[in-house]
Chains A and B, each alone.
Chain A
Amino acid sequence: AQSVTQPDIHITVSEGASLELRCNYSYGATPYLFWYVQSPGQGLQLLLKYFSGDTLVQGIKGFEAEFKRSQSSFNLRKPSVHWSDAAEYFCAVVTPGFQKLVFGTGTRLLVSP
């Protein structure tokens, strides 16, 4: 079955520093992968998605992610973190036939001054 692992429960980054959030997936075929962000008190918003083609995908709010098949990873990055990026981030993979999304357990990002 498809699954997603986010090994970091919490990450603290200084404002202006770079960020990388890790995501590993388990999937038999070419995966369709997503990153969502959940700001406090809000629902989830799509940051970016990978289906095929260029393995480096750009998203909203200055985020990008790189798909690495050899490492079964889809890590999220941002060159310079802003205080408003403090939120919880979820990686997800879609099941065959695009029926449903399977989410990771999430990584909470804290931004220090």
Chain B
Amino acid sequence: DADVTQTPRNRITKTGKRIMLECSQTKGHDRMYWYRQDPGLGLRLIYYSFDVKDINKGEISDGYSVSRQAQAKFSLSLESAIPNQTALYFCATKGQGDTGELFFGEGSRLTVL
């Protein structure tokens, strides 16, 4: 089984719908991240969390919210999806003592029609 698991892997939805992307990890890491990948733009940070009581906005948090339900779970929500949120979303984790390496899930491809 993967260390960082994202569900769903693919989702097609309509404008205005609420969508939740889930991430769970078995690495025991404290830090979890949500990135968005768009062609030509690389990966941009949406939100990150250092523990269940610590949530931080990244560079593109507008239109998104997150929940850290437990150390191992970090969910990303789109309250009212819009077409320009169509993208590939990645969850990643990092240990507190590590010097920077992130461990990524396989991604969740979201299409908003």
Contacts and interface: CB of A to CB of B under 8 A. Distances in A.
Interface of A: 6, 9, 32, 34, 41-46, 49, 51, 90, 94, 98-106
B42 A103 contact: yes
A100 B98 CA distance: 11
A43 B107 contact: yes
A44 B45 CA distance: 14
B43 A90 contact: yes
Interface in B31-83: 33, 35, 40-45, 48, 58
A100 B58 contact: yes
A101 B4 CA distance: 17
A49 B99 CA distance: 10
Nearest to B35: A103
Contacts of A98: 94, 98-100
Contact of A99 (B42, B43, B48, B92): B48
B65 to A, nearest CB: 18
B22 interface: no
Contacts of B58: 100
B100 A41 contact: no
Nearest to B100: A94
